[in-house]
Amino acid sequence: MYAGKLVFAQLMEFAPWHTFRRLVAKYRGDFNVRSFSCMDQFLCLAFAQLTYRESLRDIEACLRAQDAKLYHLGIRGNVSRSALADANEGRDWRIHFEFAQSLIGIARQLYASEPLAVDLNDTVYALDSTTIDLCLSLFPWAPFRETKAAIKLHTLLDLRGAIPAFIHISDGRYHDVNALDLLVPEPGAYYVMDRGYLDYARLHALHQAGSFFVTRARSNFKFKRLNSQPVDRKSGLICDQTVRLVWFYSKKGYPDRLRRIGLRDDEGRYLVLLTNQMELPARTICDLYRQRWQVELFFKWIKQHLRIKRFFGNSENAVKTQIWTAVATYVLVAIVRKRLNVNLSMHGMLQILSVTPFEKMSLIQLLTSLATTQNDVGDDKQLILL
């Protein structure tokens, strides 16, 4: 019989706690704190993410029901709604932001050898944003429309393992294209994005940094054709051209050549793609753009399985703390999945962990034994993506 640590405690052992303690000291998170530390705050919020708690009252009731086991979870302070609410309101959200970034760095190294649907050895990113609607009277710091508030999650998703390499949280009025200014271009990497990010000056900055981009052209796109390459129209390709921009401001923003690829997708829609990659086959460029849909699946997945649509506090600090804790928890589970070589989808792992946090059972035995018997009939796409 296994007589070791609780499942939740075993999961948390994979986190780099030395980094967390350094960040707490950097931002003075435990200054003047008597009982409920930043570590206690993170563990409570991570527990809430894993077990689908909906409110502070829900977290308090669930943890106090297992009061004798809290010490073995790693929680040393007294769990209460007021203590958790005060911590979310007053302690710097950047502690959890930088901690999530350190976990992302670990996860990306673990998933660096994951195969892509496209035959490329380079890093491929998908850039997009999702909007979370809020009540304007409760969240006045996040204006969106006249009667509505919202926040946006601008996400750069590494398609090897579906790990978010970059996330920026803004109010609803922040335009998507401005997220390009926040990126540090990686030479040789591919950035796949929709036409909401079509800004020629910003795309030219990516080009000058040695990065490649794939995006869609607008319907009023004007160009001068320099030459054309033959294409196989049976594959859905319409044209493969090298072009230059002709409008004054567009040409001023992007003075170099562009590659224009026209295709008809499986639903019969005519799409025009723009890229600065001149060497790859046109079919590969189209397949790259098709992979952009994985970031949409990622947004759908985290909204369904993480607690980022209902918030435990109304302040900007509390909202950002909860979102970054959710990201850290997601990435930590991804790290455990890779290090233990678990043949389960992320959905399957979270379902198991949600009902076994207080169990005394070997984590690897729990996950690997169920991996051989679980049949995720409805999660085929998630198994490939996550």
- pLDDT band at residue 382, thresholds of 50, 70 and 90? very low
Give me the pLDDT at residue 381, please.
Answer: 45
Total residues found in the chain within this entry: 386
Q: Which two tokens stand for residue 213?
A: 């981009």
Exposure of 240 by Cβ count < 10 A (0-12 exposed, 13-18 middle, 19+ buried)?
buried
pLDDT tens per residue across span 20-46:
999 999 999 999 888 899 999 999 999
pLDDT tens per residue across span 172-224:
999 999 999 999 999 999 999 998 899 999 999 999 999 999 999 988 888 99
pLDDT tens per residue across span 294-311:
898 889 888 888 878 789
- pLDDT band at residue 372, thresholds of 50, 70 and 90? low
For residue 232, pLDDT beyond 90: no
pLDDT tens per residue across span 307-359:
787 899 999 999 999 999 999 999 999 999 999 998 888 888 988 999 999 99
Give me the pLDDT at residue 385, please.
Answer: 44
Separation CA 4–CA 198 (nearest Å): 54
Give me the pLDDT at residue 141, please.
Answer: 92
Separation CA 67–CA 75 (nearest Å): 10
Q: Are 260 and 272 in contact (CB under 8 A)?
A: yes
pLDDT average, residue stretch 138-165: 90
pLDDT tens per residue across span 41-62:
999 999 999 999 989 999 999 9
- Look at strands 190-193 and 124-134 and give their pairing: parallel
Element at 8 (helix H, strand E): helix 7-12
Give me the pLDDT at residue 377, please.
Answer: 44
Place of tokens 């308090």: 60
Q: Are 152 and 172 in contact (CB under 8 A)?
A: yes
Of the candidates 293, 283, 267, 285, the one whose C-alpha atom is nearest the C-alpha of residue 385 is 293
Q: Which two tokens stand for residue 244?
A: 């230059």
pLDDT average, residue stretch 353-368: 89
pLDDT tens per residue across span 78-112:
899 999 999 999 999 999 999 999 999 999 999 98
Place of tokens 């892509």: 116
For residue 373, pLDDT beyond 70: no
pLDDT tens per residue across span 251-270:
999 999 999 999 988 787 89
> What is the three-class DSSP state of 230?
coil
State the average pLDDT for the chain: 89
Q: How many CB atoms lie within 10 A of CB 210?
A: 11
* Sequence-ordered alpha helix ranges (H) in 65-191: 70-73, 81-90, 94-110
Give me the pLDDT at residue 3, please.
Answer: 59
Give me the pLDDT at residue 269, please.
Answer: 86
Question: What does the DSSP 8-state code read for residue 312?
Answer: S
- Between residues 226 and 374, the one the model is more confident about: 226
Q: How many CA atoms lie within 13 A of 210 on its CB side?
A: 5
Beta strand extents in 12-97 (DSSP E only)? none
* Sequence-ordered alpha helix ranges (H) in 130-279: 200-208, 248-253
Annotated domain spans of the chain = 7-97+312-385, 196-291
Helices (H) and strands (E) in the chain, counts: 15, 10
Q: Report pTM.
A: 0.87
For residue 375, give every residue at least 6 positions away whose Cβ sits within 8 Å of its Cβ, in sequence order, or none: none
Q: Are 314 and 86 in contact (CB under 8 A)?
A: no
